[in-house]
Chains A and B, each alone.
Chain A
Amino acid sequence: MSAIEPPAEIVWWRQPLDRVEGTWIAIALVWSLFMFFMMPFWHIYGKQNLSSEAYKTTPQAYMAKAQAMVDQYTVRKETAMQLPVVRPPPGSDVYLLGRLWQWWPLLELEKGQTYRLHISSMDWQHGFSLQPVNINTQILPGYEMVLTITPDTSGEQTIICNEFCGIGHHNMVGKIYVTEGGQ
């Protein structure tokens, strides 16, 4: 009987497996398991894994930490808005915040050095999208995410917001400048 009628055999579950189906199920299962184990494998041998390090925070507490870093390590200001460019020491904790509609402050990092990049939102949800290197994460208010990053290409990277955050969403742009080591 066809698929829109009850099965012809009352005990349909006794019907032996067709060879095409049996072979394909075996192949598909092997592939599924391979893909599954690829993820833990990459945690051990791959270099691109997000940490699960995160803290609950408040916009006020987070802002205070970012402000302290900006006060200490600002090297210059850019654009008509006088946005601070911060050059924190390698290995240090770097605080980036997203707010309507800005990534603040601008950062200057050194190629080949490792930083603990903290990110949080002051208001709504934002999407941290670093281009053109193409790293994307979700930024939430009340949560401080910590990424340990090692820029391995020099030049200008742009932070775009790729989570919709209201009418100014498409103007929310920040920068990470990566300088060659020793400058």
Chain B
Amino acid sequence: MSQEQFRTCPESGLQFHKPAELLMKAHAVVAVVILLIGGIAALGVTLTRWPAVHLLPADRFYQLLTSHGTNMLIFWMISFEIAVLYFCSSTLLRCRIAAPKVAWVGFGLMLLGIIINNAAIANGDASVMMTSYVPMPANPNFYLGLILFAVGALIGCFIFLATLVVAKDEKTYEGSVPLVTFGALTACIIAVFTIASGAVVLVPTWLWSLGVVNHIDAAMYRVVWWALGHSSQQINVAAHVSVWYAIAAIVFGARPMSEKVSRTAFFLYIAFLQLASAHHILVDPGLSAEWKIFNTSYAMYLAVLASMVHGLTVPGSIEVAQRAKGYTNGLFQWLRKAPWSNPVFSGMFISLVGFGFLGGISGVVMGTEQINIIIHNTIYVPGHFHATVVIGSTLAFMSLTYFLIPTLFRKQVAFPTIAKLQPYFFGLGMSVFALAMMGAGTLGVERRHWDMAFTNAVLGFDYPASAYTLMGIMGIGGVLAITGGAMYILVTVVSVFFGKPVGSESSYGFTSTRLMRAEPLVVPEGGHEAAGKWGLAAPGTFLLALFFLVVFVLYYAVNWKYLASVWPLS
């Protein structure tokens, strides 16, 4: 291992190992290309479900919806996450990456899987949605592509784990790994579980599609498939929470309020987050109430507790850092004086708020055993997960990209004005989109449906006019969000492939703060509490958290009330 293999970023102080750097770049570039394909599909889907536009014919709509689902929820997310894993191991621990050649094999398999799966969907005989529920058959290559991708991603996970071992062995850090690396480890452990579940369900399904296996039980498929389908979104949660902590550290030099609390919260994810696969089968035949209650609540909502903890400690650590810098007026000066024109921060903060208020609350409500009866498979469901996966994960990853362009790719961020506005377009557009879907879903509008007017059906049904209005608002929000997505791709692609190399200090375009080397926090006299109020180090964050709780309680109660109006069932 020669020292020439390493370079130190002069501005951030990060140390990159060349083979790791190349791998990160490759995974990130593939991820962004996938985001572009998924985004084009998103436009077609949105413009078809917007009733006044109703753009595409039914077959094309279902095809694009399948493409949008697999590309975004699986390929974009996991490709980006492998880059994040390599960053959190090799870069943050300042060590060489383990077995780069094997890592390239993993990358190759992922890319091959993406191509094979996309080709099957493009062929038109794999329009089975991302879930590919048996016994609806798809082109065998649809499953094969997913399997190859999963094997490649699994290799990436093991490279990450092996790199942790290398760092420990070669003593490149002292004490414990950084919190962000710990969060990435959480994501990795969940990913291994997820991918194993995926193999258990997809390999037999692939063989079934080839005629080797003659029957796959529909109920069994759903139980195991969701250990892939939902858990893969839990990788995203663990990854994007890690990214929040990383950005708080990068932009503010913030340190975790307490390592113990944040790490325990991550540990709760490892222990309980997987149980949430049960959310998808709450109204399936034959499952007992005890099973459903235990699993859907992640064993007494302990994973929800973990997210509520992160939701407090991330902004709390920012508040403490800002107060230490002297922004101590009132409850919210620290927030007002935050760098709102730096997309690394603004995107991360919108991600945090959107994930909690829109995605988190709706997820818990719809995952309540009985309330699921009024929500299952309505368009409320995609409303929820666009708030978690798109506002939460995707926007967090976008924010991180604006940091990686100068540090990892060594390029200046192109079109800084567009980059500044991008998180607002994307985050707010997606919020409108998600809220409108949740509203329409509450009125019973179905998901994955080409025609809410039932124009060609033998028997008809009229949704209330308000449902049509909400679907129109959804369309407007969707187009706004897609515009934000296009802005991201424009900035990223132009910066990376045609951008000016970074040279001088202003290369970040947004902030003159020397990232990562933000001045060490000066603890105010009397401790951090002295810079806060009421004996609390982060009183503003605490007030925001209480506001969150009030919204949560009210919305939860409203849904029980709505459920109580439904026909008695037993």
Residues of A within 8 A of B (CB): 1-10, 12-13, 15, 17-21, 23-25, 27-29, 31-33, 35-36, 38-40, 42-43, 46-54, 79-81, 83, 102, 123-125, 127, 129, 131-145, 147-153, 158, 160-167, 169-175
Residue from B260, B286, B317, B376 in contact with A143 in the complex, judged by beta carbons closer than 8 Å: B286
Do B180 and A79 touch (CB < 8 A)?
Answer: no
Tell me whether A152 and B567 are in contact in the complex, defined as CB-CB below 8 angstroms, given that A4-B516, A20-B542, A169-B450 are known contacts: yes
Tell me whether A138 and B285 are in contact in the complex, defined as CB-CB below 8 angstroms, given that A39-B297, A148-B570 are known contacts: yes
Which of the 9-residue segments B301-309, B327-335, B485-493 touches chain A?
Answer: B301-309
Q: Which residues of B contact A161 (CB under 8 A)?
A: 446
Q: How far is the CA of A81 from the CA of B217 in the complex (A)?
A: 32
A3-B180, A164-B128, A170-B449 are known contacts; what are 17 more A-B pairs with Cβ within 8 Å? Answer: A1-B178, A3-B179, A9-B175, A18-B258, A21-B312, A24-B545, A125-B133, A134-B378, A136-B373, A140-B219, A140-B222, A147-B569, A160-B461, A161-B446, A170-B456, A171-B456, A173-B454
Q: How far is the CA of A4 from the CA of B458 in the complex (A)?
A: 60
Q: Which residues of A contact B218 (CB under 8 A)?
A: 125, 140-143
Do A129 and B249 touch (CB < 8 A)?
Answer: no
Residue from A42, A134, A173 in contact with B566 in the complex, judged by beta carbons closer than 8 Å: A134
Do B180 and A31 touch (CB < 8 A)?
Answer: no
Q: Which residues of B contact A7 (CB under 8 A)?
A: 175-176, 178-179, 259
Residue from B281, B285, B569 in contact with A54 in the complex, judged by beta carbons closer than 8 Å: B285
8 Å CB interface, B545-570 against A: 545-546, 549, 552-553, 556, 560, 563-564, 566-570
Residue from B58, B374, B460, B461 in contact with A135 in the complex, judged by beta carbons closer than 8 Å: B374
A-B contact list, 21 entries, CB within 8 Å: A7-B176, A13-B259, A27-B546, A32-B300, A36-B293, A39-B293, A47-B564, A48-B566, A49-B370, A50-B373, A81-B458, A124-B135, A125-B133, A134-B378, A135-B567, A135-B569, A139-B285, A151-B567, A162-B378, A165-B136, A174-B459
Residue from B58, B249, B255, B443 in contact with A167 in the complex, judged by beta carbons closer than 8 Å: B58
Do A138 and B256 touch (CB < 8 A)?
Answer: no
Tell me whether A39 and B368 are in contact in the complex, defined as CB-CB below 8 angstroms, given that A13-B259, A21-B261, A167-B62 are known contacts: yes
Do A6 and B176 touch (CB < 8 A)?
Answer: yes
Tell me whether A39 and B542 are in contact in the complex, defined as CB-CB below 8 angstroms, given that A4-B516, A125-B136, A142-B217 are known contacts: no
Q: Which residues of A contact B567 (CB under 8 A)?
A: 48, 133, 135, 149-153
Tell me whether A35 and B283 are in contact in the complex, defined as CB-CB below 8 angstroms, given that A3-B254, A21-B313, A158-B459 are known contacts: no
B245, CB-defined interface residue at 8 Å: yes
Q: Which residues of A contact B297 (CB under 8 A)?
A: 35-36, 39
Q: How far is the CA of A157 from the CA of B254 in the complex (A)?
A: 56
Tell me whether A175 and B283 are in contact in the complex, defined as CB-CB below 8 angstroms, given that A39-B293, A163-B377 are known contacts: no
B495, CB-defined interface residue at 8 Å: no
Which of the 9-residue segments B22-30, B112-120, B531-539 touches chain A?
Answer: B531-539
Residue from B258, B309, B563, B568 in contact with A150 in the complex, judged by beta carbons closer than 8 Å: B568
4 closest pairs, A vs B, by CB?
Answer: A54-B286, A32-B301, A2-B249, A145-B285
Do B257 and A18 touch (CB < 8 A)?
Answer: yes
Contact-residue size bin, chain B (C-beta under 8 Å from the other chain): 35 or more
B374 CB to nearest A CB, Å: 5
Do B370 and A136 touch (CB < 8 A)?
Answer: no
Tell me whether A163 and B457 are in contact in the complex, defined as CB-CB below 8 angstroms, given that A28-B308, A129-B377, A136-B375 are known contacts: no
Do A6 and B177 touch (CB < 8 A)?
Answer: yes
Do B293 and A40 touch (CB < 8 A)?
Answer: yes
B85 CB to nearest A CB, Å: 14
Do B258 and A17 touch (CB < 8 A)?
Answer: yes
B59, CB-defined interface residue at 8 Å: yes
B105, CB-defined interface residue at 8 Å: no
Q: How far is the CA of A83 from the CA of B458 in the complex (A)?
A: 10
Do A171 and B454 touch (CB < 8 A)?
Answer: yes
Task: Name the residue on A nearest B177 (C-beta).
Answer: A6
B108 CB to nearest A CB, Å: 30
B246 CB to nearest A CB, Å: 5
Task: Name the residue on B nearest A40 (C-beta).
Answer: B293
A51 CB to nearest B CB, Å: 6
Tell me whether A138 and B261 are in contact in the complex, defined as CB-CB below 8 angstroms, given that A12-B176, A29-B305, A129-B446 are known contacts: no
B364, CB-defined interface residue at 8 Å: yes
Q: Which residues of B contact A160 (CB under 8 A)?
A: 444, 446, 461
8 Å CB interface, B46-88 against A: 58-59, 62
Q: Which residues of B contact A10 (CB under 8 A)?
A: 174-176
Do A49 and B285 touch (CB < 8 A)?
Answer: no
Q: Which residues of B contact A12 (CB under 8 A)?
A: 175-176, 258-260
Do A170 and B454 touch (CB < 8 A)?
Answer: yes
Q: Which residues of B contact A137 (CB under 8 A)?
A: 283-285, 373, 376
Q: How far is the CA of A79 from the CA of B456 in the complex (A)?
A: 13
Task: Name the residue on A nearest B379 (C-beta).
Answer: A162
Q: Which residues of A contact B444 (CB under 8 A)?
A: 129, 131-132, 134, 160
Q: Which residues of B contact A19 (CB under 8 A)?
A: 529, 535-537
Q: Which residues of B contact A39 (CB under 8 A)?
A: 289, 293, 296-297, 368-370
Q: Which residues of A contact B179 (CB under 8 A)?
A: 3-4, 7
Q: Which of A32, A43, A142, A174 has the most CB of B within 10 A?
A: A32
Q: Which residues of A contact B261 (CB under 8 A)?
A: 17-18, 21, 25
Task: Name the residue on B nearest A32 (C-beta).
Answer: B301
B92, CB-defined interface residue at 8 Å: yes
Q: How far is the CA of A145 from the CA of B179 in the complex (A)?
A: 47
B288, CB-defined interface residue at 8 Å: yes
Q: Which residues of A contact B443 (CB under 8 A)?
A: 132, 134
Do A32 and B457 touch (CB < 8 A)?
Answer: no
Q: Which residues of A contact B564 (CB under 8 A)?
A: 46-48
Tell me whether A25 and B566 are in contact in the complex, defined as CB-CB below 8 angstroms, given that A7-B176, A129-B444, A173-B459 are known contacts: no
B287, CB-defined interface residue at 8 Å: yes
Do B136 and A124 touch (CB < 8 A)?
Answer: yes
Do A131 and B461 touch (CB < 8 A)?
Answer: yes
B150, CB-defined interface residue at 8 Å: no
Do B450 and A170 touch (CB < 8 A)?
Answer: yes
Q: Which of A29, A51, A52, A150 has the most CB of B within 10 A?
A: A52
Tell me whether A49 and B305 are in contact in the complex, defined as CB-CB below 8 angstroms, given that A138-B376, A141-B135 are known contacts: no
Q: Which residues of B contact A17 (CB under 8 A)?
A: 258, 260-261
Q: How far is the CA of A28 from the CA of B518 in the complex (A)?
A: 32
B447, CB-defined interface residue at 8 Å: yes
Task: Name the residue on A nearest B321 (C-beta).
Answer: A2
